[in-house]
Amino acid sequence: MDMQAKKKLGLKEKYAHMTRGLGWETTYQPMDKVFPYDKFEGIKIHDWEKWEDPFRLTMDAYWKYQAEKERKLYAILDAFAQNNGHLGVTDARYLNAIKLFISGVSPLEYMAHRGFAHVGRQMRGVGPRVACQMQSLDELRHVQTQIHTVSNYNKFYNGMHQFRHQHDRMWYLSVPKSFFDDAFTAGPFEYMIAIGFSFEYVLTNLLFVPFMSGAAYNGDMATVTFGFSAQSDEARHMTLGLECIKFMLEQDPDNLPIVQRWIDKWAWRGIRVLTLVAMMMDYMLPKRVMSWREAWEIYFEQNGTALFNDLARYGIKMPDCVAQAIADKDHISHQAWATFYQYGAATAFHTWMPTDEEMDWLSAKYPNSFDQYYRPRFTHWREEAEKGNRFYNKTLPMLCQTCQIPMLFTEPGDPTKICYRESDYNGEKYHFCSDHCKHIFDHEPEKYVQSWLPVHQIYQGSCFPEGTDPTVEGFDPLKAVLDWYKVDFGRDNLDFEGSEDQKNFAAWRGMATKNA
């Protein structure tokens, strides 16, 4: 037999075959009716063939490597379950970071799946459509693997059992939820900037890299594995976001101001959501790899500067909000933790005050802020708790109309004064946590007046279980709201000290290391 194998196609050729020549000009219906959403934002595209996907992963390679990632992850999850891996974490306080993760972040992965499926359908160019569809599959994998991983903790600990129900209702979960809803309800190009650039490039590197490395440091092999497994896809997603920006800018000079505005908006939206990650890193990891400030400097300041230097040739400038974010890096994690501590009766996770040793670490990492502004307050709260007066704030805070975070941030340059901004629109007054959130609102007030703000909704009576009568004597509104959230009072919430999680973890770990 004289069979000669033909030389295999190179990677670039293979990828070109997969992503080019698949589309066609429709004739039964005009193209603008088949793809109704890719022009209204004002982005001008002259040649979709100029799209260059940086990762040339063909479908056969995609399935092969994704399957291998899954096998690795599930092998670790099996070992984790068989070996009572949950008892290997440093300290049961750590579990509260996982509670925040499953309720705040994992549902966003599902929204990303839906969003990219939608955008993949709406872009008329074949290259971005293929890339978006692959990302859509990745995101579905992320939410599934995260739920499977965390289910191993949910068997033993409180606060995770209603993560999906709470994502749509809980006051602090409206922060990440509204970020995604904002992106999802924008046009396809803005969505690509919001998620492909801001969420993937700005947020996930900070969430999945130093935080997950921290999970490993705290003995949580299950979480670090799904985290790194997800992040290996994010490397592709980040480059997709970056490619989309370059593509828009190269297609038409008129796209520049639109893209710059989106970058400015979404950089700030992302930075505000990162407040939760900042707090997780500085307060919720009992063993710390690096402070929030250090992670921010590496992944945002250095890496972000490199990116913006690169985009400068298109005329893109570093967003103005970054200057404030840099000044804020000394404060946001402490201000957020102080807020959650006060509202610890209305959370589905436990809160606590740091130990002396932890406060010393915080002052070493935050020499310009911690001892001066936060240690005195935290020491006071701890002393009060020791005397039996654990402080729970029972009033409801005012929320920012744009980012939905309670008004907890301080004035730029004055960490002793809460920052308030306001705008009037159609005879109503709207409140903001910062100049940047106000600017975002002022540009699209029709959108943000519709925000579902948890505190407003509570006052309007929208957050009580069906059939609740708030006029009966002795009505306890906080209890009714927690019932509606499905927070199991006394088990899911309140201080870590004295919690069921704390007692169970100590008892079970004792059983694991001693003969009872």
In the complex, which residues of this chain contact another protein (CB under 8 A)? 10-12, 54-57, 61, 65, 68-69, 72, 205, 208-210, 212-214, 216-217, 224, 228, 231-232, 234-235, 238-239, 242, 289, 302-303, 305-307, 309-310, 312-313
* Shortest spacing between CB 163 and another protein, in angstroms: 25
* Shortest spacing between CB 61 and another protein, in angstroms: 5
Measure the CA–CA gap between 134 and 123, rounded to whole angstroms. Answer: 14
Torsion of CA 501, 211, 398, 199, to 10 degrees: -140
- Choice between 256 and 298, CB closer to another protein: 298
* Shortest spacing between CB 78 and another protein, in angstroms: 18
Helices (DSSP H) in 280-331: which residue ranges?
A: 292-296, 303-311, 321-328
- Choice between 207 and 440, CB closer to another protein: 207
Q: Is residue 514 helix, strand or coil? A: coil
* Shortest spacing between CB 213 and another protein, in angstroms: 5
Angle between helices 375-386 and 332-342 in degrees, nearest 10 = 20
460-466, long-range: CB < 8 A, 24+ apart:
463/169
Torsion of CA 293, 298, 300, 304, to 10 degrees: 160
* Shortest spacing between CB 310 and another protein, in angstroms: 5
Measure the CA–CA gap between 97 and 91, rounded to whole angstroms. Answer: 12
Non-local (6+) Cβ contacts of 60 within 8 A are none
Please, what sign has the CA dihedral across residues 226, 232, 238, 243? negative
- Choice between 11 and 506, CB closer to another protein: 11
- Choice between 10 and 36, CB closer to another protein: 10
* Shortest spacing between CB 126 and another protein, in angstroms: 19
- Choice between 199 and 378, CB closer to another protein: 199
- Choice between 57 and 458, CB closer to another protein: 57
- Choice between 242 and 346, CB closer to another protein: 242
Q: Is residue 490 helix, strand or coil? A: coil
Asked if residues 210 and 281 have their Cβ atoms less than 8 Å apart, the reply is yes
Q: Which amino acid type is present at position 185?
A: T
Q: What distances in angstroms separate CA 209 from CA 205, 215, 229, 298, one per listed residue?
A: 5, 10, 11, 11
* Shortest spacing between CB 335 and another protein, in angstroms: 27
* Shortest spacing between CB 211 and another protein, in angstroms: 11
DSSP states of 324-393 as a string? HHHHHTTTHHHHHHHHHHHTTTSSSS-B-PPPHHHHHHHHHH-TTTIIIIIHHHHHHHHHHHHTT-----
* Shortest spacing between CB 39 and another protein, in angstroms: 28
* Shortest spacing between CB 226 and another protein, in angstroms: 12
Q: Which amino acid type is present at position 391?
A: F
- Choice between 61 and 327, CB closer to another protein: 61
- Choice between 69 and 331, CB closer to another protein: 69
Helices vs. strands in the chain: H and E counts, helices first: 24, 4
- Choice between 213 and 468, CB closer to another protein: 213
Q: Which amino acid type is present at position 94?
A: Y
